[in-house]
Amino acid sequence: MLVDSPPPPTSAAPEAPPRRRAARRAAGLLAATGLLLLVVVASLAVGAKQIPVGEVWHGLFHYAGTETDVVVRDVRVPRTLLGLLVGAALGLAGTVMQALTRNPLADPGLFGINAGAAAAVVSGISFLGVTSLTGYVWFAFLGAAAVSVVVYGLGGSRATPVRLALAGTAVTAALNGYVFSVQLMDTAALDRMRFWTVGSLASANADVVAQVAPFVLIGVVLALLLARPLNALALGDDQARALGTRLTTTRVLALAAVTLLCGAATAACGPVVFVGLMVPHAVRAFTGPDLRRVLPYAAILSPVLVLGSDIAGRVVVRPSELQVGIVTALLGGPLFIHLVRRRRMAQL
């Protein structure tokens, strides 16, 4: 009795699932990019003065010097570009920090890095007379790096997620008190610092964007290149070594990327909190933990959050304005509480 044998396997069958996954990833990135473009258009059109999309287009590509053209090109375009840079910087910095520390609560704001950069910049403004953004950037880098060392030192050898979060909160509170004290003593610098210290895009201009962009772009490239070694580091030091990862080099480069991204973002618009916490958690819900996917999504969707918060701040108290740092804090505070409760991280 003859029995028909099954046909030999073809090479196309096992390739189908990877192709579908690749197609889904490409579609997801395309959708995220489309959402970002919509938010960019809204950032150019929405504000104290509503501008139709047709006039936005005219101001961008057929500039004639009218009032609307000036608002679009000289005010809202730099503000939107700065929001893109700051959003990408903070989202990537938070993602890298969470991977480096294996801590789901890691965030430049929670760990005091933004506050350290802000305190250093305020000191430069008040005591050394620094007035240029170039000066702000270097002070911000110094403050961000110093606070990173202090927070990890306070966390101790058993640096659990909550220990580090508590250390960062304590350092942030102390530095915020210092910043407010300096502002009260130096009334001449108060007006220059008062919007900057809560995180605002309102003072953006072409010079600010041009000076900050190189630092952010270097940090973005460095963060994206670290995806594979940080993936290996997530498996533990021994496994990472077995996979050929250079642990010290990876950690140093990751800290350099975080310092570049946080320092440049804080120097440009002040401390904006919770962006680096909210976006990576939202992204992982549909990408999984692989940083090769998380980092590109975070770079695209973090500016969506920053620009969306900035748009909301322009609208809710019109004709006045609510700073973007306040809006992200209002959104991120409840999420932080939810993450702590959900993950049962109360043990110290």
The domain that holds 78 is classified in CATH as 1.10.3470.10
pLDDT digits (tens, 9 = 90+) for 208-238: 899 899 999 999 999 999 999 999 988 888 8
pLDDT value for 37: 96
32: pLDDT strictly greater than 90: yes
Q: Could you write out the three-class secondary structure of the chain?
A: CCCCCCCCCCCHHHHHHHHHHHHHHHHHHHHHHHHHHHHHHHHHHCCCCCCCHHHHHHHHHCCCCCHHHHHHHHHHHHHHHHHHHHHHHHHHHHHHHHHHHCCCCCCCCCCCHHHHHHHHHHHHHHHCCCCCHHHHHHHHHHHHHHHHHHHHHHHCCCCCHHHHHHHHHHHHHHHHHHHHHHHHHCHHHHHHHHCHHHCCCCCCCHHHHHHHHHHHHHHHHHHHHCHHHHHHHCCCHHHHHHCCCCHHHHHHHHHHHHHHHHHHHHHHHCCCCCHHHHHHHHHHHHHCCCHHHHHHHHHHHHHHHHHHHHHHHHHHCCCCCCCHHHHHHHHHHHHHHHHHHHCCCCCC
Residue 18 is encoded by which pair of tokens? 């990877």
pLDDT value for 12: 45
303: pLDDT strictly greater than 90: yes
Output the average pLDDT for the chain: 84
pLDDT value for 183: 79
- Considering the domain boundaries, does residue 10 fall inside one? no
Query: Residue 297: which pLDDT band, with cuts at 50, 70 and 90?
Result: very high
pLDDT value for 309: 94
**Scanning the structure block, which residue is given the tokens 């290996």?**
232
Q: Does the bond joining 7 to the residue before it have cis omega, within 30 degrees of 0?
A: no
Answer with the residue of higher pLDDT: 64 or 155.
64
13: pLDDT strictly greater than 70: no
- Considering the domain boundaries, does residue 102 fall inside one? yes
- Considering the domain boundaries, does residue 193 fall inside one? yes
Answer with the residue of higher pLDDT: 104 or 190.
104
- Considering the domain boundaries, does residue 59 fall inside one? no
- Considering the domain boundaries, does residue 309 fall inside one? yes
Average pLDDT over residues 148-167: 72
- Considering the domain boundaries, does residue 195 fall inside one? yes
> For the chain, what percent of residues have pLDDT higher than 70?
88
| Entry pTM | 0.84
Average pLDDT over residues 301-326: 90
pLDDT value for 157: 55
Tell me the residue range of the domain where 286 lies: 67-342
- Considering the domain boundaries, does residue 187 fall inside one? yes
Alpha-carbon dihedral angle through residues 192, 193, 194, 195, given to the nearest 10 degrees: 90
pLDDT value for 229: 94
Query: Residue 191: which pLDDT band, with cuts at 50, 70 and 90?
Result: low
pLDDT value for 251: 85
91: pLDDT strictly greater than 80: yes
> For the chain, what percent of residues have pLDDT higher than 90?
32
- Considering the domain boundaries, does residue 203 fall inside one? yes
The count of structural domains within the chain is: 1
Average pLDDT over residues 110-135: 84
pLDDT value for 76: 94
pLDDT value for 7: 53
